[in-house]
Amino acid sequence: MIGGDSAGVAGWSITVRADTKVFRNGEFIMGFTDSFRMGQLLRYSLVPPVPQDWDLDRFMATDFIAVVRDCLRDGGFARNDSGNESGGLFLVGIRGHLYRIDSDYQIGRSVDDYYAVGSGDEYACGSLHSTRGLDAEQRVQLALEAAAHHSTGVCPPFHIVSSDDVYAPDGSVNAG
């Protein structure tokens, strides 16, 4: 389960966006922060490979990231600074696992089984930690509300994407 807010922030300005920061792409659910362009590429241009029956972490670090890098580069989003390529920050849920993809394309999985990214991430993580044991959708909703209450870069309406076979066990939040 991945939730996201609707804030588009540029400096002191905020726009409530109609396009969502969370979505499904094939078997994957995703949520992004920072650049709506990156989110558009991940949502509409990325053709993710199908995981094989081997190590999912290995698949994500190799096959999945290779396709993401190509997609962001071809879409004009990836940056190359003196040979150091960078993308953006986003979350990916697949087959009960939640991954954080950082701008250097590393994958991460937390032992907590939840993540939050964006300007309200610390508030959302605090909420997710303190609501262990509650229903996953309720936890994500509460985390988004906490982030919106404490961060000027987070605002409703909130969107939550889930799937019976693709979810983070405890929830994840894209807060800002």
Please tell me the distance from the alpha carbon of residue 18 to that of residue 16, in angstroms, as a whole number.
Answer: 7
Burial class (CB in 10 A: 0-12, 13-18, 19+), 11: exposed
Q: Is 5 or 173 the better-scoring residue by pLDDT?
A: 5
Q: Tokens 């950082």 correspond to what residue?
A: 102
Return the number of other C-beta atoms located less than 10 Å from residue 82's C-beta.
4
| Mean pLDDT of all residues belonging to the chain | 92
Please tell me the distance from the alpha carbon of residue 167 to that of residue 157, in angstroms, as a whole number.
Answer: 21
pLDDT digits (tens, 9 = 90+) for 130-154: 999 999 999 999 999 999 999 999 9
Do β-strands 90-94 and 97-101 pair in parallel, antiparallel, or remain unpaired? antiparallel
Rounded to the nearest 5 degrees, what angle is found at the Cα of 163, between the Cα atoms of 15 and 108? 75
Tokens found for residue 130 = 């303190």
pLDDT bracket for residue 169 (50, 70, 90): very low
Residue 167: what pLDDT? 38
Burial class (CB in 10 A: 0-12, 13-18, 19+), 64: buried
Distances in Å between the Cα of 56 and the Cα atoms of 63, 67, 94, 99, 146 are 10, 15, 9, 11, 32
- Residue 166 pLDDT greater than 50, yes or no: no
pLDDT digits (tens, 9 = 90+) for 8-41: 999 999 999 999 999 999 999 999 999 999 999 9
Class of domain 2-174: alpha beta
Residue 99: what pLDDT? 97
pLDDT bracket for residue 164 (50, 70, 90): low
What ranges do the domains of the chain cover?
2-174
pTM summary value: 0.91
